[in-house]
Structure 1
């Protein structure tokens, strides 16, 4: 089934469970330290951007390289990192893609220590079908601790 026909054939809410499963498995790969496996869940030219680095990183090879480095830093610091996802919404992108929005809480636990909140974020993904699953073509992470200029 083509990218266009997979998403057009079913309403966005029918993709919710498969997108939820995909995102959970993707974060488990990262938490397990499988940077290459995590990077393989992006399209070949997939982009990972953040409000702290809006230019982003592009391409599986670059994502795998940078995340391998990052996983190494976390391990050298003796931390176990976990991502917790919630508040997922899934909508059609209108171009055969699916757009997913969700919150991510990142918790670090030092060996023998107490868990501590590392980050609180909201995420926006553009996903493309890949057989019975998905690939990320674009991800943007909004860090909650970044001043959004909204005032009080």
Structure 2
């Protein structure tokens, strides 16, 4: 039986019979799992290292746009201070990965060095567990990224986070 392909996804046979698209998707899932663990552990430098040198990170609800890993790490440290005393878990799901359109990676980023750039979209929510065991939830969000492959690993070149409750206003 021939594999079914999505019209926006190029599927070619890769090593070991795996498709390039499936391998790419798995690598990107691993990137997001790593980012969730880094955020939950307040590993600011580790999280920031998953972004390109000129990356932008925009959280629409705050209006703040962070540029570069240093600014991203500083923001994670500020959040860690503000959220001390509770356990936070980032949950990412419903990941869609599609080829990035031409020009999606700014020239200042040098394009996709390994010839690979994608747009990724997913849902995110954060659970917050207090000392008393009560669990609260931050508003759910839609996250849109431009990812580039550099030196064999995926990095975030652009991230835009939109809270769902603000979509209703």
Q: Shorter chain as normaliser: what TM range?
A: 0.7 to 0.9
Residue 66 of structure 1: how far off its partner (Å)? 1.6
Give 1 or 2 for the bigger CA radius of gyration.
2
Tell me, what secondary structure is at the counterpart of 1:145?
A: helix
Structure 1 position 49 matched with structure 2 position 58 = yes
Structure 1 position 139 matched with structure 2 position 159 = yes
Q: TM-score, normalised by structure 2?
A: 0.75
Provide closer, same or farther for how the CA distance between residues 93 and 11 of structure 1 changes in structure 2, counting only shifts above 3 A.
farther
Tell me, what secondary structure is at the counterpart of 1:112?
A: coil
Tell me, what secondary structure is at the counterpart of 2:128?
A: strand
In 2, Cα distance between the equivalents of 1:105 and 1:148? Answer: 17
Q: Decide whether the 8 Å contact of 1:128 with 1:136 is kept in 2.
A: yes
Which among 79, 87, 90 is matched to residue 83 of structure 1? Answer: 90
Structure 1 position 123 matched with structure 2 position 143 = yes
Tell me, what secondary structure is at the counterpart of 1:15?
A: helix
Q: Decide whether the 8 Å contact of 1:83 with 1:106 is kept in 2.
A: yes
More strand by share: 1
Matching of residues 1-152 of structure 1 within 5 Å: 12-54=21-63, 56-75=65-84, 78-95=85-102, 96-148=116-168
Q: Tell me which moved more, 51-60 or 41-50.
A: 51-60
Once superposed, which parts of structure 1, at least 4 consecutive aligned residues long, lie more than 2 Å away? Answer: 9-14, 130-133
Q: Tell me, which stretches of 5 or more residues in structure 2 are unaligned?
A: 1-9, 13-18, 103-115
Q: What RMSD in Å do the two structures reach over aligned CA positions?
A: 2.2
Residue 59 of structure 1: how far off its partner (Å)? 0.7
Q: TM-score, normalised by structure 1?
A: 0.83
Q: Tell me, which stretches of 5 or more residues in structure 1 are unaligned?
A: 1-6
Aligned partner of 1:3 in structure 2 is none
Residue 133 of structure 1: how far off its partner (Å)? 2.2
Q: Decide whether the 8 Å contact of 1:35 with 1:67 is kept in 2.
A: yes
Greater relative contact order, per chain length (Cα 8 Å cut-off, separation 6+): 1
